Structure 1
Amino acid sequence: MIYLLLSILFNAVLFIIIKLFAKFNIDALQALVVNYFVAFGVGLFFLDTSFSPQIIISQEWFKGSILLGFIFISTFYVTTITSQRNGLSVASVASKMSVIIPIILGVFLYDETLGSVKILGIIIALIAVYFTSKKETGEIQQACNLVFPILVFIGAGTIDSSLKYLQTFHVPSNQIGLFSSVTFFCAFSVGILILVFLSLKGKIKFAGRNILGGIALGLPNFFSLYYLVKMLEAKAFESATLFTIHNIAIVLVSTFVGILFFKERISMRNALGIGLALFALFLVTY
């Protein structure tokens, strides 16, 4: 349970820092790339085992880290496009609704069971995520723009599912820190390629404040992934229960942080979502 709480805590810190990006006019993509390098460095600092490139490449999870690194940065980039074209609420809902992907895979890959009460809880949770996350106007204005929320949905779901699969079959307990660090380095490498491409096209300008934003984001980002994997390793709950609790709790904490620290207004729709979320939490842990 402690790993679940720590993962939620660090995700809430991430929300606060990302929220401050707009206030200080920080380019999110540049900051994210820097953040991945910082997270990689933080992981190396906390490692208590020796390693070498040859050891890393020989690990069963190495190819998975490369794939995850690509999905991390790609999903963020598509989320940015979705926020710009369809609204932040659409991007947020698409990301959190993706919890259904690891839940379904959990039934087929890990022989997990879904009782009627838990299924009802998951359905209510999805409804709660929609109502709680939708704080602004954000609609699919054109059919062609539907592809971006779908990609966010698939990308976020793939990240959770891949982490669960790698933790279950390939990542030993004593290598979680190394796995997290290597994954962030892979994401950084892909991000550098994206920045070089955009720079050559003249679509991006570099600024020192973006580096500072990335440094601030790197530390909590590493631990959000580290404790997420530790949470999966603990196996305190089945995937359906665990990911539902995790995603709903992040939505709730982010909502309350927005209200307390950023003076965001809460509508009747948001209040209904919070109530449904609490009820869903009771059902899935019943």
Structure 2
Amino acid sequence: MIFLIFSVFITSLLFVIFKLFDVYKVNTFQAIVLNYAVALCFGFVHSEISLSVTEIPKQPWFLGATILGFLFITVFLVMGITAQKNGLSVASVAGKMSVVIPVVLGIFLYNESIGFVKIIGIILALVAVYLSSAKSDTAPVEFKNLLFPMLLFLGSGSIDTLLKYTEDTYVSKGAVPMFLSTIFGCALLFGISFMVIQFFSKKVKLEWKTLIGGIALGVPNYYSMEFLLKALQTEGLESATIFTINNVSVVVLTTVFALLFFKEKLVKKNWIGIGLAIISILLVVSA
């Protein structure tokens, strides 16, 4: 459970860092690409297994790591498009509601238990995420354009599901850092490809604050993933429970950070969502 707590806390810090990017006008996409380079280095440093570059493609988890690397960078791009076209609330709801995908697939792939109490907890978790993302008590969240929100929903859920499946099937505990390094390395390569296109089409320039932002993001990004994978390897905790607690807790803690550090105001729907989130966690854990 301690690894899950660390993962929730550090993942919540990532949202604070993204908020600071907006405050200090840091190019978010460039910082994300650079953060993968930092995370890649941390993975190699913490790895208990020494592999050459030519040996990595021979590992049983390499295909999964490559796909995850591509998903990491592309889902972020889809998130940006969704936020621009549909608004931040829709982007947040679409991303966080994706917890239902690994939870449902965990029941079929791993024969994990499912009972009435857990079902209620999962449903309340989804409602809590929706309400926590609301910006107004009267105006409903608009879904006029479902293409990008659906892509974000499927992409985020695919990341959680594939991460769990690959880790559970092919990755030993000692290979977790190397596995993460490969994911980050693949994301870095895909990201650099996107940046090259940007440089030629928009003449985008790198700035020192972008480099600093990439480092500030890369360190917690690596540890959030490592702690999540270690939590998934904890005996007695099912993936449905872990993903539900992780996603809902991140929403709650991020809200606390927003109140404390950025003085953001919450509407009634947000407070109801936070209350339902706490109840859902208790239901899922006790089930």
TM-score, normalisation: structure 1 = 0.96
Inter-partner Cα distance in structure 1 for 2:24 and 2:281: 36
Partner of residue 99, structure 2 = 99
Partner of residue 268, structure 1 = 268
Partner of residue 12, structure 1 = 12
How far the C-alpha of 1:285 sits from its partner, in A, is: 1.2
Verify: 1:211 aligned to 2:211, yes or no.
yes
Identity across matched positions, percent:
45
Verify: 1:223 aligned to 2:223, yes or no.
yes
Partner of residue 174, structure 1 = 174
Partner of residue 197, structure 1 = 197
Contact 1:90–1:138, Cα closer than 8 Å, also in 2? no
Partner of residue 84, structure 1 = 84
Partner of residue 48, structure 1 = 48
1:205-264 Cα deviation digits (max 9, x unpaired): 432221211111000000011111111111432222111111000000000000011101
Amino acid at match of 2:19: K
Amino acid at match of 2:102: P
How far the C-alpha of 1:188 sits from its partner, in A, is: 0.5
Inter-partner Cα distance in structure 2 for 1:197 and 1:273: 41
Partner of residue 253, structure 2 = 253
1:29-61 Cα deviation digits (max 9, x unpaired): 000000001110111122233221132111100
Inter-partner Cα distance in structure 2 for 1:205 and 1:138: 39
Inter-partner Cα distance in structure 2 for 1:197 and 1:138: 37
Contact 2:93–2:133, Cα closer than 8 Å, also in 1? yes
| CA gap 1:235/1:80 in 2 versus in 1, 3 angstroms | farther
236-245 vs 246-255, greater mean Cα deviation: 236-245
Inter-partner Cα distance in structure 2 for 1:57 and 1:141: 41
Contact 1:132–1:251, Cα closer than 8 Å, also in 2? yes
Amino acid at match of 1:232: L
| CA gap 1:138/1:209 in 2 versus in 1, 3 angstroms | farther
| CA gap 1:116/1:141 in 2 versus in 1, 3 angstroms | closer
Matched residue count: 284
1:148 aligned counterpart, secondary structure: helix
Q: Which runs of 5+ in 2 are unaligned?
A: none
Contact 2:171–2:179, Cα closer than 8 Å, also in 1? yes
2:10 aligned counterpart, secondary structure: helix
Contact 2:90–2:143, Cα closer than 8 Å, also in 1? no
Inter-partner Cα distance in structure 1 for 2:143 and 2:2: 42
How far the C-alpha of 1:159 sits from its partner, in A, is: 0.5
How far the C-alpha of 1:139 sits from its partner, in A, is: 4.5
Inter-partner Cα distance in structure 2 for 1:70 and 1:50: 24
Partner of residue 69, structure 1 = 69
Partner of residue 146, structure 2 = 146
Partner of residue 118, structure 2 = 118
Q: Which runs of 5+ in 1 are unaligned?
A: none
| CA gap 1:203/1:78 in 2 versus in 1, 3 angstroms | farther
How far the C-alpha of 1:138 sits from its partner, in A, is: 8.3
2:26 aligned counterpart, secondary structure: coil
Amino acid at match of 1:91: A
Inter-partner Cα distance in structure 1 for 2:87 and 2:7: 26
Amino acid at match of 1:37: A
| CA gap 1:116/1:203 in 2 versus in 1, 3 angstroms | farther
| CA gap 1:139/1:130 in 2 versus in 1, 3 angstroms | closer
Partner of residue 57, structure 1 = 57
Inter-partner Cα distance in structure 2 for 1:29 and 1:191: 9
Inter-partner Cα distance in structure 2 for 1:213 and 1:201: 23
Amino acid at match of 2:112: E
Amino acid at match of 1:184: F
Contact 1:88–1:138, Cα closer than 8 Å, also in 2? no
Verify: 1:39 aligned to 2:6, yes or no.
no
1:209 aligned counterpart, secondary structure: helix
The root-mean-square deviation of aligned C-alpha atoms, in Å, is 1.5
How far the C-alpha of 1:141 sits from its partner, in A, is: 6.4
Contact 1:41–1:181, Cα closer than 8 Å, also in 2? yes
Partner of residue 127, structure 2 = 127
1:3-45 Cα deviation digits (max 9, x unpaired): 1011111101211111100000011100000000111011112
